[in-house]
A and B are shown apart, each in its own frame.
Chain A
């Protein structure tokens, strides 16, 4: 004890003498002494200041990684040799033959798109069941007039992000209109629908926060999850029981580890982009309150397509939109304009105005497109007939296609996004809806892959479906396969044909088209067996 004390005082002394040996140290010591006597507060401030300066100086230095234990020391000559030896892979892998063929055979529309566009090449007019024109607003004359008038007032580009003179009054109006339409406090506009959700998620959820997500969320959400670096748990696709189990499991884990309280989110979609199925919103809300999670709901395909006037899932289930913490939707899809939005409380929106990466660091959308979207909302509000026609058309399609037994349609019966998958001859019992969730052990929540992984031959099925698409096109109807980034999604999606039904068609046209598709499917798929 004594020895250590002695040692301490000795080392202090040497330090002191060493210090006074430094040139200028006397001056410094005197300065500190006198200033401390005059004003002790000032010393404190100066010390803090010094620490602050040192910290910022250290921060600004770029981190060099050559102290790590894996660092190998090379001489300059060796480095030169290594540089000479190194041959990088080519920047681009060439496309496979199929991919190039696919790309080359992509249908290109000549002139305006809409229910009956003309194709480049053949010059044929086709019935368009591929484009997202659910509400039939594409080509609306009234909207065109408004947009043209707006162009003469605002020009086209906004020439700046919102922070720097890019907040045009029409953007604020559209944000107001969306919030009023949905019944939330406020909303925020992003300039591309795809970039909306992948920016909203990381704005709120950071490292250490917990996200519980559906296993079938779309690609944009997957990217948002990736950027957020949060802890992610998965529940089986659209399975509320699985969700509850996962939430319960997390609670247990938290209690066991006594981890501090972090933000927790449930992320799912209204109508799923991957298969057209629909979330059980009331149950989600119930669970969210029970376990104290915030709900991020991606309504990209349900906003403007379900509910009496197209307000989406909340209207369909008669749930106030304010119950959903972050409601994300697309302005591009149902309003036939561009961009996306996130609606919620004003705190949620305000937070994104500073922290939403794609909002802050990107130019705001062209004014004329905001005007078009605002007009679109007004039209939806005033004409419920649009949505009833759309739903009628969906019903027509489903009544014809559902009869076919060589296909499966995982989509919800009200979804205007209809995915048609090939039904495997033997493995029909493996389809997600057919699996009783309690029959087997639950899936592992840390893995994005479900326990009962569907097996399917992507290439073969895609080829069959493409054959159907081509065959139907030859009969004057434009449909498309759902295009996927194979190998980049968290789990592979079963290939499908994705129909987008529009209210712009008559019942007759829908019947005719559905029959053509049905016949073609039956023809092509029967060949297979």
Chain B
């Protein structure tokens, strides 16, 4: 076994998890044939497990690998992969085949089968309790010290190598230095961090992948001969557990009601709307989607943009300008900063999620007015995120709303990660805290995450949204959202909401009915008439299951890691769980060790500049598609690697791994503070 610290340890060549790629063959033509394939496969699996009762030596998990017959319907589910019939990794089939009463309509590799009703939870802030102040644990000093020293060594070595390199191999540096009257595009100083630090981790980023980014994902294996300067694919692919994609509700699916709806929409609407919203690029589908989004988030109206990043960067300038002040959380997303810079408004930042810091700042800026002139600000817009993607922390919305009452600022909440992922009805952070969505002035969100689509929206009062339609940059200049994406948004959103079978009586007054029924089901007249969702999606039951599974998974992993002794950040209910590594060297080792387990686990490591220098971390993004077995697998992996890398620095009570796995339900429901 090569050392995991080696830059690119050779993976065991006899690995059964490597599959040679082959062009996808015999994809089922329709969902119906797919479903029948699923049920046949289940039946086969049951037959095999029955056979195992006779031979008690083999466990159910092994039963699949003992099968040598190649079933034609199985190969449909395999999406063209060639694989010996083992299921040690439990990725393509459940380890325990379903019983005859259970029927699953999803591919286990995309959306895991999990029938145990105990593994469910509701994402909701306990009524009456104040939002917990999330104290971030500090690691012991020796960890901090060694982290600084690691960076020191990296920096010194880097400079040393530059120094020597420039003398011995000047040709390798010409593109970084002025030559022949041309300034370098990227000076040696600007690119130092990337050339000397990041490159060492490059094999942990930007994996080329293929297939659906669902519960599992297929990565192309990569190799390097020059210490990560160039990475090339080896031609082999590995399927692994995907705990990295923003697929919170598991709607990244190539099968199922939403995908069928998208297929239908391609034949009805094509792939593009060929223009900007204000220049003949508006389809009826845009209007439908916008109305549904407004209904979903509980606002009067909404406008959709074809890119989440651009939603922020093109809409904030329509809201504020010169003489206005934007108060922004220090960890706000790059798109927000981009938009604020374009708007020409002044910006101040407050400490991440620190209500006290926000209030102090508000008192200062309101009393001081604009710089130099001391004229009062025209308006103040506070921009926060519902759920922070690097921290896993949630905005303290009730407190911020209290301040809003007192200081009369406008509130913009970016719900990119929280919409769909939080709240008993999936309606985001307002739903989670049980506050009226109308008390927030601007609710922004993206469809990239929970809805498995792309693009973003802004919702608010009708007059505000109309203003954004006309004055936002997207309206006249940016391409409108393509119809298949709109369909995915509509179908996934409708299946979270459920569809009200009776058309509401006052269909002509859309806004008032919309507000009346928040957070209720989607009225059927709001959906395209051709949209035919399967019954489980239509009645919202599957949507509920997804929400409750995500809530369980989030709590289970975050609490499980804490009980194992790791330092994690953020809220227990957040589907984003950052596990702190601190040391830069541990990042790549952690990532490689996870990748090379019997069941490969694909994770994301983040470091400076996305996080503060010392707090390098692993970021797990949970999904409703994960099963409890998957989380157990992750906990087991973390437990082993954590011992290896000395990561268990957290304080608080610890449980052994087995106890955590056995008492998962209790752990999730426990009162922990």
Q: Which residues of A contact B242 (CB under 8 A)?
A: 165
Complex interface residues of chain B between 286 and 333 (CB less than 8 A to chain A): 286-287, 306-310, 313-314, 317, 319, 330, 333
- Do A164 and B604 have beta carbons less than 8 Å apart? yes
Query: A457 on the interface (CB 8 Å rule)?
Result: no
Contacts of B263 in A (CB 8 A): 148, 151-152
B residues in contact with A485, CB < 8 Å: 471, 473, 476-477
A92 within 8 A of B: yes
Taking CB as reference atom, which chain A residue is nearest B245? A159
Q: With an 8 A cutoff between CB atoms, is B138 at the interface?
A: no
Is B157 close to A, CB under 8 A? no
Which among A3-11, A27-35, A77-85, A303-311 touches the partner chain? A77-85
Chain A min CB distance to B551 (Å): 19
User: Scoring A residues 356 to 369 as 1 if CB is less than 8 Å from chain B, else 0, what string do you get?
Assistant: 01101111011011
Q: Provide the residues of chain B in CB contact with A111, threshold 8 Å.
A: 268-269, 283-284
CB–CB B279/A193 < 8 A: no
A515 in contact (CB, < 8 A): no
Stretch at the interface among A215-223, A380-388, A390-398: A215-223
- Structural contact, B454 and A168, CB atoms closer than 8 A: no
What separation, in Å, do the CA atoms of A332 and B480 have in the docked complex? Answer: 9
Min CB–CB distance A465 → chain B (angstroms):
13
B87 → A minimal CB distance (Å):
22
Q: A102: nearest residue on chain B (CB-CB)?
A: B470
- Extra contacts, 9 of them, besides A144-B266, A152-B254, A192-B307 (Cβ < 8 A), are A83-B362, A109-B280, A109-B283, A109-B284, A157-B448, A218-B477, A336-B270, A358-B335, A366-B454
Stretch at the interface among A433-441, A444-452, A475-483: A475-483
CB < 8 Å neighbour of B488 from A157, A194, A223, A261: A157
A172 touching B283, Cβ below 8 Å: no
Interface flag for A474 (CB, 8 Å): no
Q: How far is the CB of B497 from chain A (nearest CB, A)?
A: 19
Interface residue B38 (Cβ < 8 Å from any Cβ of A):
no
B282 and A106 within 8 A (CB)? yes
B219 neighbours in A (Cβ, 8 Å): 165
- Name 25 interchain pairs, CB-CB below 8 A, sorted by A: A70-B371, A79-B366, A87-B408, A88-B378, A108-B282, A109-B283, A113-B274, A153-B211, A154-B211, A156-B252, A163-B206, A164-B205, A164-B244, A165-B213, A194-B314, A194-B473, A195-B313, A219-B473, A227-B342, A333-B479, A357-B338, A358-B309, A483-B278, A485-B473, A500-B275
Which residue of chain A has its CB nearest to the CB of B476?
A483
Asked whether, in the complex, the Cβ of B452 is within 8 Å of the Cβ of A168, the reply is: no
Q: A195-B307, A261-B178, A337-B272 are in contact. Are A167 and B208 (CB under 8 A)?
A: yes
B27 within 8 A of partner (CB): yes
Partner pick for A482 among B180, B252, B271, B279, CB 8 A cutoff: B279
- B240-281 residues with Cβ-Cβ distance < 8 A to A are 242, 244-247, 251-255, 258-259, 262-263, 266-276, 278-281
Asked if residues A132 and B79 are in contact (CB atoms below 8 Å), the reply is no
Q: Which residue of chain A is the closest to B278 with respect to CB atoms?
A: A483
For residue A498, CB closer than 8 A to chain B, the reply is yes
Instruction: Select one of A99, A109, A168 contacting B273, CB under 8 A.
Output: A109
- Distance in Å from the Cβ of B652 to the closest Cβ of chain A? 26
Is A94 positioned at the interface, with any CB of B under 8 Å from its CB?
Answer: yes
Contact across chains for A165 and B280 when beta carbons are under 8 A apart: no
CA distance A45 to B151 in the complex (A): 12
Report B383 CB to chain A, min CB distance, Å: 13
B167 to chain A, nearest CB (A): 22
**A223 vs B308: C-alpha distance in the bound complex, in angstroms?**
17
Query: Is B267 a contact of A155 with CB atoms below 8 Å?
Result: no
B209 proximity list for chain A (CB < 8 A): 165-169
Residues of chain A lying within 8 A (CB to CB) of residue B151:
52
The contact size tier of chain B is: 35 or more
**Which residue on chain B has the smallest CB distance to residue A61?**
B351
- Determine if B466 and A100 form an interchain contact, defined as CB atoms under 8 angstroms apart: yes
CB-CB under 8 A from A132, the residues of chain B are 274-275
Residues of B with C-beta under 8 A to A430: none
Given contacts A362-B335, A483-B276, are A62 and B309 in contact (CB under 8 A)? no
Interface size class of A (residues with CB under 8 A): 35 or more
| Interface window among B5-13, B116-124, B182-190, B423-431 | B182-190
CB of A159 within 8 A of CB of B246, answer: yes
A130→B217 contact, CB < 8 A: no
- In the bound complex, do residue B364 and residue A66 qualify as a contact, i.e. CB atoms below 8 Å apart? yes
CB distance from A201 to the nearest CB of B (A): 12
- Give the top 10 A-B pairs by smallest Cβ distance, nearest first: A130-B280, A194-B478, A483-B476, A192-B307, A362-B309, A131-B274, A159-B245, A332-B479, A363-B448, A157-B452
- Considering only residues 470-494 of chain A, those with a C-beta below 8 Å from chain B are 478, 480, 482-485, 488
**B residues near A120, Cβ cutoff 8 Å:** 284
Given A194-B310, A363-B308, the answer on whether A86 and B27 have CB atoms closer than 8 Å is no
**CB-CB < 8 A to A39: which residues of B?**
none
Once the chains bind, are B272 and A348 in contact (CB under 8 Å)? no
A347 at the interface (CB under 8 A from B): yes
Per-position binary interface string of chain B over residues 348-378, scored 1 when its CB falls under 8 Å from any chain A CB and 0 otherwise: 1111000001000011101110011010111
Taking CB atoms, residues of chain B closer than 8 Å to A164 are 205, 244-245, 604
Interface residues of B in 377-418 (CB under 8 A from A): 377-381, 406-410
Instruction: Give which listed residue, A91, A109, A149, A155, contacts B410 with CB less than 8 A.
Output: A91
Residues in B whose Cβ lies below 8 Å from that of A425: none
CB contacts (< 8 Å) of A68 on chain B: these are 371
Is B654 on the interface with A (CB-CB < 8 A)?
A: no
Contact with A147, one of B28, B181, B380, B484 (Cβ below 8 angstroms): B484
A-side contacts of B186, CB under 8 Å: 347, 351
Bound Cα distance from A159 to B623, whole angstroms: 11
Contacts A83-B366, A144-B271; is A156 near B262 (CB within 8 Å)? yes
